Amino acid sequence: MLHIRYEKSPDVSNEALNDLFRHAWDTHTDRDFVPVLQHSLGWICAFDSTSIIGFVNLAWDGGVHAFLLDTTVHIDYQRLGIGAQMVRYALDLARRKSIEWVHVDYEPHLHDFYLQCGFQPTLAGLWNAKINL
C-alpha cells in the first residue's frame, strides 16, 4: 500500500526535480528551477517516503490569474491518482489565495485528465518561438 505525502511549497533541490523530470519525460533537459519557483504562487510535491515522486507548479500573474505548469509524476507512480490529487491541492491553494482563474495548457492525450480535475475546455491562442520564427 502506498503512503503518499503531499506538501505545499516544500524546499526541493534542482537535483531532485531534474531527477523526477528525467523519470517522467523522455525529452527532459536539466534546468534551473530556482527562478521559476521564485515567481510562483506555490507548488505541490508528492513524496513516497523521502523521495519526490510528483510536482505541479502554480505560476501567477500577480493578479487574479494563475497557471498550472509542469504537472509531473514519476513513471513508476503514474495512473494512481497522484497527479489529480496534486492538481486538486494546487486549485485549493489558488482558491485560498483569491485566484479567480487558473489556466492550463495540455496536449490532447491529457484532455480527459484535466476535465476530471475540473477544468473546462476553452479557445486559446498559442505562440511558440521555436515554431513561429
Supply the pLDDT for residue 9. 97
User: How far apart, in whole angstroms, are the C-alpha atoms of residue 20 and residue 87?
Assistant: 17
User: How far apart, in whole angstroms, are the C-alpha atoms of residue 15 and residue 91?
Assistant: 26
Supply the pLDDT for residue 70. 96
Q: Tell me the average pLDDT across 14-32.
A: 96
Q: Above 90 in pLDDT, residue 5?
A: yes
Supply the pLDDT for residue 133. 64
Q: Tell me the average pLDDT across 74-88.
A: 97
User: How far apart, in whole angstroms, are the C-alpha atoms of residue 95 and residue 6?
Assistant: 18
Please check whether residue 116 is in contact with residue 84, taking contact to mean a CB–CB distance below 8 angstroms.
Answer: yes
User: How far apart, in whole angstroms, are the C-alpha atoms of residue 105 and residue 117?
Assistant: 13
| Domains of the chain, CATH where assigned | 4-116 (3.40.630.30)
Supply the pLDDT for residue 130. 82
Q: Above 70 in pLDDT, residue 118?
A: yes
Q: How far is CA 16 from CA 51, 53, 107, in A?
A: 8, 9, 25
Q: How far is CA 45 from CA 30, 51, 80, 85, 127, in A?
A: 18, 10, 15, 10, 29
CA 60 to chain centre: 13
3-state secondary structure of 121: coil
Supply the pLDDT for residue 74. 98
Percent of the chain's residues with pLDDT above 90? 86
Supply the pLDDT for residue 1. 66
Torsion of CA 127, 43, 112, 116, to 10 degrees: -140
3-state secondary structure of 55: strand
Q: Above 80 in pLDDT, residue 107?
A: yes
Percent of the chain's residues with pLDDT above 70? 98
Q: Above 70 in pLDDT, residue 90?
A: yes
Q: Tell me the average pLDDT across 73-96.
A: 97
